């Protein structure tokens, strides 16, 4: 199944790298947003979102994540400051530190897609999960 990703990142170069990784993985990017307002405009079309903590409009990533999760969007924080979301996960699946290598980006994309499909497996090495994994059957 092809998923639609929203990338919420105010650094255009980092956003373009993630965009390329999502496209390479066979999925679609519905938009790149530098702030909450633009992200919410794209939200209706997204299944999965990568959200930075510090955006063009401030440290608004956790607030945005709560709104996206309420809309049924799977959120993973991608941030240079992962400790900023410790204990404030806003319903997000987890957090991974920037910068991402091509392999790390591919791994976290595949993990998010698998999770969305109900397949829970061990997370990529750098991804810290906020949600517990279901016990193995």
Q: Which residues contact 119 (CB under 8 A, 6 or more apart)?
A: none
Average pLDDT over residues 15-30: 98
Tell me: pLDDT of 120 over 70. yes
List, in sequence order, every residue forming a beta bridge with 74; answer none if it has no partner. 48
Q: Are 47 and 73 in contact (CB under 8 A)?
A: yes
* Domains defined for the chain, CATH in brackets: 4-129 (3.40.50.2300)
Please tell me the predicted confidence (pLDDT) of residue 76: 96
pTM reported for the whole predicted model: 0.93
């Amino acid at each position: 199944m092809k998923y639609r990703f929203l990338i919420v990142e105010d650094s255009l170069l980092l956003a373009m790298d993630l965009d390329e990784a999502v496209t390479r993985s066979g999925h679609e990017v519905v938009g790149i947003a530098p702030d909450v307002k633009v992200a919410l405009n794209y939200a209706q079309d997204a299944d999965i979102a990568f959200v930075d903590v510090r955006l063009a409009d401030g440290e608004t990533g956790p607030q945005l994540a709560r709104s996206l999760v309420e809309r049924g969007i799977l959120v993973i924080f991608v941030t240079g400051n992962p400790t900023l979301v410790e204990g404030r996960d806003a319903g997000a699946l987890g957090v991974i530190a920037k910068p991402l290598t091509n392999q790390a980006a591919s791994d976290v994309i595949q993990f998010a897609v698998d999770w969305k499909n109900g397949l829970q497996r061990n997370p990529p090495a750098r991804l810290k999960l906020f949600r517990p994994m279901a016990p193995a059957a």
